[in-house]
Amino acid sequence: MNKLLEKRNTIYGLCSVWIILFHTFRRIGMPYLPVLSNIIGIGNMAVDVFFFFSGLCLSLSAAKHQYLQIGWREFFKRRFNRIIIPYLIICVPYYAWNAICETGRGALHKAIVFGANLSSVSFWLRGTQTTWYVYGIAFFYLLFPLLYRVSVKLDRKKRLCILGGMIGVAILSAYVPILKNSMIVWARLPVFTVGMFVGIGQEKMKKIRMADTAVSILVLIALGWVTSASEISETFTIPQVYRFLLYLPMTIALLTILSKIGIKSNAFAWIGGLSLEVYLIHITLLHPVKYYGIMESVGYWLYILLPVLTLCLALPVGRIEKLILGKMDDRG
């Protein structure tokens, strides 16, 4: 477990690049390269890695700071500052552009669209998914104190029952109209819960054996092939919610393998430290890039240009955040 946490920023960096390549793949495709296209085709699984680590790190932080005893005020302050500040820096100009350029009606309507998008109302009610990850992680932050308070007192069997309930909620979200628009978040609730459980029971974690690694490799290859085939093939499809749920064992398998591999990269660790900024910048860049016809002009060069441009913009955004957080800490 400690080895995995030591590699966390490197893993975040790798997953950030993986997500960028996935979103590029979804928009322009790529020349048929069997292994590479299969790997990139399941790049949205990288989001599950982030949710797993979120649940894991939240539970470790809750135990360290004893939030159950002192209350959750500091928890919410620290966590929401981390996501709201970069979200506003990046998404206020993006959603302003979106409302002005992609909404053909009057100023009042544009203002309503801007407010609905920025506040996440358009996601929860209409399924607008551009920055859904931020809304999902914010929702899990709100849910975490209750889940943690209940789960920390339970034994392993009862926690498995809770996990089964979370999987049931995820499946239900695909069929209940009020939840269907936000299904992409509900489907990640199980992997977040598993991460939290691992954090709660981390002192009881056994050392990962070679047999565990071998099984993880087989699981990752088998389920990875199935899910990527569903993503790429025009004839073979798996309903989206079940494809998301298959990412749960795949995420655990991937992290089991990574815990045994001595990966350490300063470059990817740097990217990982700006992973939220990288996510928000690249996904909001894709829309104007397509709107102005740039995507068609650059073609496959987008696989290089989008990551480079994203990283160039992430650096100043990160510095602005530090200045804002520093001033907030001085006042606090």
Helix (H, G, I), strand (E, B) or coil at 328: helix
Output b/e per residue, 30-43; b: 16+ Cβ within 10 A.
Answer: eeeeeeebbbbbbb
Classify residue 105 by its DSSP letter: S
Model pTM score: 0.93
pLDDT by position in tens, the chain (length 332): 677 888 899 999 999 999 999 999 988 887 777 778 888 989 999 999 999 999 999 999 998 989 888 989 889 988 898 899 999 999 999 999 999 987 777 889 899 999 999 999 999 999 888 999 999 999 999 999 999 999 998 888 999 999 999 999 999 999 999 999 999 999 999 999 999 999 988 645 455 565 678 888 898 989 988 888 887 776 778 898 999 999 999 999 999 888 888 777 889 999 999 999 999 999 999 999 998 999 889 988 999 999 999 999 999 999 999 888 877 766 65
Q: CA dihedral defined by 50, 195, 258, 236, rounded to 10 degrees?
A: -70
d(CA 317, CA 8): 21
Residue 225: per-residue pLDDT? 87
Beta carbons within 10 angstroms of residue 313's beta carbon:
19
d(CA 289, CA 306): 10
CB contact set of 71 (below 8 Å; sequence gap of 6+): none
For residue 38, give its domain range: 2-331
Question: Is the Cβ–Cβ distance between 224 and 38 less than 8 Å?
Answer: yes
d(CA 201, CA 203): 6
DSSP per residue, 247-298:
HHHHHHHHHHHHHHS----HHHHHHHHTHHHHHHHHHHHHHHHHHTTHHHHH
d(CA 40, CA 25): 7
Question: What is the total count of domains within the chain?
Answer: 1
Token couple for 209: 């054996």
